[in-house]
Structure 1
Amino acid sequence: MDSLTLPELVSALTALAMLSIALLRGWSGWLALKHRELDVVSKADQPAQPSATHRIEIADLKERIRKLEAIAAGVDL
């Protein structure tokens, strides 16, 4: 059986280390991608905050409803 010399062993170990580092960086990048995808999905699930204009319109509609209910109940404002 052919025995390996010290330079061959060092070369093989260096190649294995380089391959391991490349695979770990790829795995880390893939995990980062999945985290970003989850952040996008979770932000999409949240309802959007209404703008100031929409909040004003909603407040105006609520006030109108309150006045109409008061009129229906026979209360003078």
Structure 2
Amino acid sequence: MTDPNLYLTLATTALAGLAMLTFAALTGWRGWLQLKTQELHGHGDLPLQQTMPNASARIEIADLKERIRKLEAIAAGVDL
């Protein structure tokens, strides 16, 4: 067990394994940082459906606005 080649091979293998683990961890860390940077700057890739309200939502908002106008008119004492 005093063969220097065995110790050299084990040390080289351990160093190569450590280098691979370090590289994988560094790649994951950089990806996580990039994700957090995108979240902070608001550059997330949102689908078009989430950015544009659909027709039923717009109709509902218009209906609510009309109800508010009627309630304000009632509160002001205006006859409709």
Superposition TM-score tier, normalisation by shorter sequence: 0.5 to 0.7
Larger radius of gyration: 1
Aligned residue number for residue 15 of structure 2: 20
Aligned residue number for residue 30 of structure 2: 35
Once the two structures are aligned, what percentage of the paired residues are identical? 13
Distance 1:46 1:27 in 2: 28
| Cα shift readout 1:10-68 (whole Å, capped 9, x = no counterpart) | 0110000000000011001100010000010000011258x577xxxxxxxxxxxxxxx
RMSD of the TM alignment (CA)? Answer: 2.7
Output the TM-score relative to the length of structure 1. 0.52
Q: Which runs of structure 1 show a deviation greater than 4 angstroms over 4 or more consecutive aligned residues? A: none
Unaligned runs of at least 5 residues, structure 2: 54-80
Unaligned runs of at least 5 residues, structure 1: 54-77
